Amino acid sequence: MPLGPANTFGTAILLDGTFDNNYFTFGPTNSLATLYTCGTDSTVTSAQDLFTVTFLNTGIINTTPAMSQNKNVNPGNKTGTCSPITEFYDGTKDRMFVGMGNISGTGGANVVQMWDITSRITSSSATPTASASPYLGGTTSFTIDNASSQPQAQSIYFSTITTNGTATCGANLYCAVKLTQSALK
């Protein structure tokens, strides 16, 4: 299934998408099973957007996305690439984490987002539940530590792709980052 037109960004790559908790619980033949991934924006072909992919009752991917080209994953619709996308279900909320940036420099969206995917996202105008920035160049994949009621025990971890030009974590260094799952703080 095409996820937008051919990308024109010289270093664009399509990284891992993620399945939702319904997919992991019920399998791909269930009508609620969903895959979230990024693909190319149709108007700015050096940018990426968020897509929602569903499955037929045979477990085969539908040829038409349930949602295509949600530009809100990429504030400003800037040249760049989505990070690998990570899902985490804490027993109540199903969350998806994604970063967006230009791996060739600092001019991309440079953002990390948390989306509530407890209910399937089908609107291309849907927005993330929380955002944090600037994470220059975008992000690596995410590591989730836990589902817990303890302070600071429900966090995500990642690194920046481009060195930081300011003193956030030291001038001209890559950053290792820890944020809470629910608010990205």
77-98, pLDDT tens digit by residue?
999 899 999 999 999 999 999 9
Residue 92 lies in a domain: yes
**Domain membership flag for residue 162:** no
Other Cβ atoms less than 10 A from the Cβ of 56: the count is: 12
| Token pair belonging to 127 | 């927005």
Name the residue range of residue 124's domain: 18-138
Q: Provide the number of structural domains found in the chain.
A: 1
Question: For the whole model, what pTM was predicted?
Answer: 0.92
pLDDT tens, 45-76?
999 999 999 999 999 999 999 999 999 999 99
pLDDT at 165 over 80: no
The sign of the CA dihedral 154, 158, 160, 165 is positive
Give me the pLDDT at residue 54, please.
Answer: 97
Is 1 domain-assigned? no
| Distance from C-alpha of 174 to C-alpha of 75, rounded to nearest angstrom | 22
> Which of the two residues, 163 and 17, has the higher pLDDT score?
17
Contact 99, 158 (CB under 8 A): yes
As a whole number of angstroms, the distance between CA 77 and CA 42 comes to 11
Percent of the chain with pLDDT over 90: 65
Residue 34 lies in a domain: yes
In the predicted model, what is the mean pLDDT of the chain? 90
Q: Identify the band that residue 112 occupies on the pLDDT scale cut at 50, 70 and 90.
A: very high
Q: Is 177 a member of any domain?
A: no
* Residue of 157, 155, 162, 160 whose CA lies nearest to 180: 155
Output phi, psi for 38, to 5 deg: -105, 155
CA–CA separation, 127 and 43 (whole Å):
19
